[in-house]
Amino acid sequence: MYGKGLRPLSIATVAALVASLSLVFFYAPLDADQGFIQKIFYLHVPLAIVALVGFVVGGVFAILHLRSGEGRWDAYSYVSIHMSVIFGVAVLITGSIWAKASWGHWWVWDEPTLVSFLIVFLMYATYYPFRYAIEDRERQGRYASVFAITAGAFVPLNFMAVRMAQSLVHPRVFATTNGGLPGSMMLTFLVSLLAIGLLWVTLVKFELTAKSASGQLKRLRRAIDAPAPGGASRVAPEVS
């Protein structure tokens, strides 16, 4: 069920990624201030935006889970958060590389943008131990949904607080009219954002498909009363 449309989605994602990389390295002009190092912007910023939106999406799915009680919404929420945490790792690493090249430091502790993202990331890193500390699946899903909603609401609040704070070194690229970017850079950025967004959707769909297959296999095993294999996963919520 979840695998439907995965192939065209994957093809669209690869095409968008290739277009994005082509625009980044062959079309977008060099930044007058940062030069070639600014090319990291087209990877780092879309990853950050998609990761943060993914956390909020996880919260929205969690609301649907609490309203309907359907396990599939819990699985959607879990996979959205899981994928955004992976994207968050990429944001932190690419950001550190950019910081080292631009500012000469891997990390700047008094910069609100960096520290706030780290706080959001660490908060979602606690989602896993919190979730799997509860054995009963139904209670686990309910509590995880409450966590996802609370944390998901914190993300935009945190974003607004950072925008209002005084920045020390981190640039506010989209603070001015038209994003403060020339047209060619803006086009490249938007294509990169689309590509990273499509990648997130594809990987979420891919993971849901695998979880669905695994869940159906378990049910089949129970139905025909077959012996359980060793090393079966107990961590992921089952998907029907």
Partner 1 sequence: MLPLLADAPALPLDEAGKYVAGAYVVFLALIVVYVAIMAAKLQRIERELRELAGFAEQRSRERAEVEAEHAEVGGG
Site residues (vs partner 1, CB under 8 A): 22, 25-27, 29-30, 35-37, 39-40, 43-44, 47, 86, 89-90, 93-94, 97-98, 100-101, 199, 203, 206-207, 210, 213-214, 217, 220-221, 224, 226, 229
Of 28 and 155, the one with the shorter C-beta distance to partner 1 is 28
Helix (H, G, I), strand (E, B) or coil at 35: strand
Computed on alpha carbons and rounded to an integer, the radius of gyration of the chain in Å comes to 20
DSSP state of 106: S
Q: What whole-number distance in Å separates Cα of residue 50 and Cα of residue 52?
A: 6
Of 160 and 226, the one with the shorter C-beta distance to partner 1 is 226
- The nearest distance, CB 221 to partner 1, in angstroms, is 6
- The nearest distance, CB 142 to partner 1, in angstroms, is 26
- The nearest distance, CB 83 to partner 1, in angstroms, is 9
Q: What whole-number distance in Å separates Cα of residue 63 and Cα of residue 72?
A: 12
Of 119 and 220, the one with the shorter C-beta distance to partner 1 is 220
Of 35 and 69, the one with the shorter C-beta distance to partner 1 is 35
Tell me how far CA of residue 109 lies from CA of 102, 106, 161, 167, in angstroms.
15, 10, 17, 12
- The nearest distance, CB 50 to partner 1, in angstroms, is 12
The token pair that represents 105 in the structure block: 């430091």
DSSP state of 236: S
